[in-house]
């Protein structure tokens, strides 16, 4: 995937056990999808809590935030509850969504940490890859503010 590409469509289980269908969000409003390695790890928790603490800014810009990792739905339920995360978490246990977006492993074994900002037309406007979790939030907010 690269900037300017149409975001791929996918389905996955959310923390309510429901099937999330991306076409209900992508192409309808701005969406920030962030892939992260694992629930309950230090950097992933800091990143999720930073998205949480800035969630209202994302909503004010008309965007939905979606976090995706290969953790189970049960793990996501605990993670979301423990840190009061207001956004969608999706389980990608078979790593199909990660592959669709072309998110590579970091350091050969750790699942990559990558953020995609997708405009309301479903076009990718930003791809940001860094193992530093909190920087993803400022990069995503800046990209959203630059959308027309």
Positions marked catalytic: 44
Question: What stretches of the chain adopt beta strand conformation (E)?
Answer: 11-14, 19-21, 30-35, 63-69, 88-91, 105-106, 110-111, 114-118, 124-129
Residue 121 burial (CB count, 10 A): 13
Output DSSP code: residue 6.
Answer: B
Paired with 6 in beta bridges are 123
């Amino acid at each position: 995937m690269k900037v300017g590409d149409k975001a791929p469509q996918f389905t996955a289980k959310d923390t309510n056990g429901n099937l999330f269908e991306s076409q209900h969000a992508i192409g309808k409003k701005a969406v920030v999808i962030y892939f992260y390695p694992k629930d309950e790890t230090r950097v992933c928790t800091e990143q999720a809590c930073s998205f949480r603490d800035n969630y209202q800014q994302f909503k004010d810009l008309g965007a939905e935030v979606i976090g995706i990792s290969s953790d189970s739905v049960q793990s996501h339920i605990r993670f979301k509850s423990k840190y009061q995360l207001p956004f969608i978490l999706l389980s990608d246990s078979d790593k199909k969504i990660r592959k669709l977006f072309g998110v590579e492993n970091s350091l050969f074994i750790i699942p990559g940490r990558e953020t995609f900002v997708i405009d309301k037309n479903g076009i990718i406007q930003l791809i940001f890859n860094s193992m530093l979790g909190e920087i993803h939030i400022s990069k995503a907010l800046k990209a959203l503010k630059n959308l027309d």
